């Protein structure tokens, strides 16, 4: 009986030791500090702005009063330096402009396509030049001083620019104007065709 009581006491003591040990393991350290949040990662630096090519910044607009009428055109390159050339066409204003080194040297009213065959929007390098071109699609129609813009035949070319007429998607200019433009334009020069885009002195010609 005494041995049994001793064994039981040892067992209780042993169990008590385990409990106490467990209690010691579960005791919280009140002096421990709360974890400090890591500082936020720095934001990536914004990419540097692309430098503006001054050769394509508008430096002059020809001083023309009022809207340009059909058949009317202007050309003045006196004193304008050499530089890259850009041609712009505004479908809303129905006007083509020629810029060299950022100076407008020429502008004219133009014929454009219809809703069924519209003049396309976009940026088109001149693909081909032909001073005595005739249409292979429209009854061999003359298209003097053609500068082709697209593979399906959209071009800038000379024609009779009159109210009430339209093209099959081409940009038609007065023939005398087309002749002068043909003489200075090169294959690869870009033509920007937009609708209602407003630009002025200090704006870039080559941004969309």
pLDDT value of position 24: 40
Angstrom distance (rounded) from CA 161 to CA 177: 11
CA 161 to chain centre: 31
> Please, which pLDDT band fits residue 49 given cuts at 50, 70 and 90?
low
Opening angle at CA 124, ends 104 and 154, nearest 5: 105
> What domains lie within the chain, and their CATH numbers?
54-194 (2.40.440.10)
What tokens appear for 71 in the block?
């058949």
pLDDT value of position 107: 98
Angstrom distance (rounded) from CA 83 to CA 100: 6
pLDDT value of position 62: 96
């Amino acid at each position: 009986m005494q041995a049994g009581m001793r064994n039981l006491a040892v067992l209780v003591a042993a169990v008590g030791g385990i409990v106490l040990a467990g209690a010691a393991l579960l005791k919280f350290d009140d002096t421990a500090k709360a974890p400090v949040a890591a500082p936020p990662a720095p934001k990536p630096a914004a990419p540097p702005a692309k430098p503006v090519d001054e050769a394509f910044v508008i430096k002059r607009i020809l001083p023309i009063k009022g809207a340009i009428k059909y058949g009317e055109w202007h050309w003045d390159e006196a004193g304008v330096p050499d530089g890259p050339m850009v041609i712009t066409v505004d479908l809303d204003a129905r006007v083509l402009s020629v810029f060299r080194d950022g100076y407008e040297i020429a502008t004219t009213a133009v014929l454009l396509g219809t809703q069924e065959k519209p003049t396309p929007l976009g940026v088109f390098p001149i693909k081909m030049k032909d001073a005595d071109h005739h249409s292979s699609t429209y009854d061999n129609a003359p298209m003097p001083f053609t500068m082709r813009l697209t593979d399906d035949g959209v071009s800038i070319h000379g024609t009779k620019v009159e109210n009430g007429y339209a093209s099959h998607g081409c940009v038609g200019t007065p023939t005398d104007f087309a002749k002068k433009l043909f003489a200075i334009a090169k294959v690869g020069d870009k033509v920007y065709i937009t609708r209602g885009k407003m630009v002025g002195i200090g704006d870039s010609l080559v941004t969309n």
